[in-house]
Amino acid sequence: MDVSKTKSSFYRRLYVAYLIDSQLASNVPALTDVTGMPRRTAQDTITALADLDIVCEFEQEDGARNHAGHYRIRSWGAIDRRWIEANLGQIKQVLGYP
């Protein structure tokens, strides 16, 4: 199945936001474990969520060092999280994620 870079990038952002919001993978190491994507791709995808008006903030753990903590979705903007849930299978298939 041929998928445009635009669509795969969009789906990747939706999926990462969903994983963070569901607390299935709320930091970069967990995202790389769940998706198999490289660390840099995970970091870039989190940063790119702002392009979709998805507000994602990092919360540092109290007393932790070396950026230990997790991400949290503060706002989905115009994105409907329910659509992502209803289409998770398709999203993961397009991205080739388990």
| Burial of 9 from C-beta contacts in 10 A (0-12 / 13-18 / 19+) | middle
Q: Greater confidence, 64 or 19?
A: 19
| CA-wise closest residue to 51 among 27, 22, 17 | 17
Task: State how far the Cα of 95 lies from the Cα of 98, in Å rounded to an integer.
Answer: 9
Give the H/E segment covering residue 6: helix 5-21
Mean pLDDT, to the nearest integer, of 53-79? 88
| pLDDT tens per residue across span 3-61 | 899 999 999 999 999 999 999 999 999 999 999 999 999 999 999 999 999 999 999 88
Can you list the domains of the chain with their CATH numbers?
A: 5-95 (1.10.10.10)
Whole-model pTM: value is 0.92
- pLDDT recorded at residue 58: 94
- Predicted local confidence at residue 64, as pLDDT: 61
